[in-house]
Structure 1
Amino acid sequence: MAVYQADALVIRSREYGESDRLLTLFARESGKLQAVAKGVRKPTSRQRAGAQLFTYADFLLHRGRTLDTVTQASPRESFPHLWNDLDRTLAATAIAELLDAATVREEPQPHLFTLTLTCFFMLAEVHPFLVQSLFALRLLEILGYSPRLEECAECGALIQGERVFFSPEAGGTVCSSCRGTLSGRTLSQGTLAFMRRLAQAEWAKVKRLRWPVWMEQEVRRALQQYCEEKFEHNLRSWRMGNEIGGEGINNQREG
């Protein structure tokens, strides 16, 4: 079919040529797609709104030999809240980057589409880094990569102690007997318990969850390293968020 429709989110947008953009879309029915939106960098372009990063839109695309072309983009939701706060922007960018890294082109993943769309809406009222961490844990579950958070990923023994070794290389927590030369980091039992709770929490109850700053940092850094190991991709936005994130939310709390 030369022309097809896609109900999709824009998860990446790059300059392409003099006035075009190369979009990475994540569609409900067909998964990850790439298409050129021609002329959208011109102020008069009718497709300009639909080509913005994070936008949820109905796309009409023309299939080409090497790259598809966007012929029409009708926005459904532009998520303005993702742009009015630094931490929300960082979290949305991290979600989009992880989704891109974890998937291949044109492989249908409707559950991931629903997860991403839900998290973009949640970012309006839930702590952004809580949503980011929730997204990572649920994505890993959907794709079959959930980390072991109670038993040793090597021998299956129950993990004990206040501080526990967490190894992305092994696939989760590791007991002292199996640790050997595995790479990883130590996490508190409280952090592991919170990660388990977050992975299983009902959507309506997520915004009630609270974590101290030190636990937030442990969770985000552990998930970053775990996802980088599993998907063999350097998550630049996660690293950036871990370095500079928190300022916007902290300023809101102080105000």
Structure 2
Amino acid sequence: MRTKAIVIKKQQANEYDQIVTLYSEDYGTMRAMARGVCKPTSVQSMHLELLNTVEFEVIHGKSMPIISSAVMSHQHLNIKESLPKLVAVQFFTEVLDKIAFENEKDAHLWEFLNTMLVDFDDVSSDGILPLFRKHQAGFLKVLGYAPQIERCVVCSTDPMVGTERMIALSTELGGVMCADCFLAGGQGVLLEKNDLNSLIGTSLAPATKHSTLDTFFEYTVGRKISSLGFLYQVIK
């Protein structure tokens, strides 16, 4: 079996072998064993670096497929040489590793990941956070977790109607609540109406740290996302 993939995670299996998690064009998320990749003489080690785009072939193994050959097509060196870029991209691979099912092909997700890597490879240092927010919103849409924002998830009214400055985002219900439903006992995270655009990637305001998007992703994943905290430490 031969396909193209992006290396998103590596785990040590023993002294010389690694379990490699890849997102492939034809099979979605898959895990395979890279035999001897940690040996000093290994030819495959440079091809199977994190975030590399590779063409690889696997053969059947006892517990999981074994990578028999791998040839790198893109290294994305600008990402790897910039800590803020690297950590920003690791957010997406961390989320993907936690929620994606194995062996489910998704052409839209494959296209998103490739575009995201190219964009971060090319972006300047002052554009990292705005680009990160843009791709967070796009990632939610591709994954099918984008929140319902056109109407209140409780009463179906337009949450933008009215003079109230605040609305609430319910991660549990998957969308926004109008002020009336929130005050009537609904549970959610309060945010200003102007912040709603950040959830769909159309905000014209300067990107800031600790966005509502982060809260929504962590609820979706069901735990804290470690790369987020690290990103805000290293990004300017």
Same fold (TM over 0.5): yes
Aligned to 1:238: 228
State how far apart, in whole Å, the 1-side matches of 2:121 and 2:169 are: 31
What whole-Å deviation, never above 9, does each CA across 1:71-95 have from its counterpart, x for those lacking one?
1110000101112222101111001
- Paired with 1:167 and 1:241, the residues of 2 have a C-alpha distance of 25
User: CA offset at residue 13 of structure 1?
Assistant: 1.1
> Structure 2: how far apart are the matches of 1:232 and 1:74?
35
Quote the sequence identity (%).
Answer: 23
Shift in Å, 1:211? 4.1
State the alpha-carbon separation in 2 of the partners of residues 104 and 131 from structure 1.
Answer: 26
Letter in 2 for 1:177: D
Secondary structure of 1:217's counterpart equals coil
Q: CA deviation at 1:34?
A: 0.3
The residue that corresponds to 1:66 in the other structure is 63
| Match in the other structure for 1:121 | 118
Give 1 or 2: higher helix fraction: 1
| CA distance in 2: counterparts of 1:226 and 1:194, whole angstroms | 11
2:200 corresponds to which letter in structure 1? R
Contact 1:163 1:189 in 2 (8 A): yes
Within-5 A mapping of 1:218-229:
218-219=210-211, 222-229=212-219
Aligned to 2:208: 216
Check the 8 A contact 2:78/2:122 in 1, yes or no.
Answer: no
- For the aligned residues, what is the CA RMSD? 2.1
| CA offsets 1:104-126 (integer angstroms, 9 cap, x no match) | 00011121011011100100233
Aligned to 1:196: 200
Q: Are the counterparts in 1 of residues 137 and 200 from structure 2 also a CA contact under 8 Å?
A: no
CA distance in 2, matches of 1:43, 1:211: 49
Where does 1:143-154 land on structure 2 (aligned, <5 Å)? 143-154=143-154
Rounded Cα–Cα distance in structure 1 between residues aligned with 2:172 and 2:179: 15
Structure 1 residue 11, shift from structure 2 partner = 0.6
Deviation at 1:140, TM superposition (A): 2.3
After superposition, the C-alpha distances for 1:10-66 in whole angstroms (9 at most, x for unaligned) are 011122200222110000010000011122222321001121110100011112231
Q: Residue 50 of structure 1 aligns to a residue in which SS? A: coil
Q: 1:241 to 1:197 in 2, by over 3 A?
A: closer
- Where does residue 23 of structure 1 map in the other structure? 20
Residues 31 and 48 of structure 1, relative CA distance in 2, 3 Å threshold: same
Aligned-pair distance for 1:197?
4.4
- Written as runs of structure 1 = structure 2, the 5 A alignment for 1:46-195 is 46-126=43-123, 127-160=127-160, 161-179=164-182, 180-182=185-187, 184-195=188-199
Sort the Cα spacing of 1:239 and 1:156 in 2 relative to 1 into closer, same or farther, 3 A.
farther
**C-alpha separation between the residues in 1 aligned to 2:31 and 2:201?**
36
- In structure 1, what residue type is equivalent to 2:217? C
Q: Where do 5+ consecutive residues of structure 2 fail to align? A: none
Which 4+ stretches in 1 moved above 6 angstroms? none
- Contact in 1 for aligned 2:166/2:192 (Cα 8 Å): yes
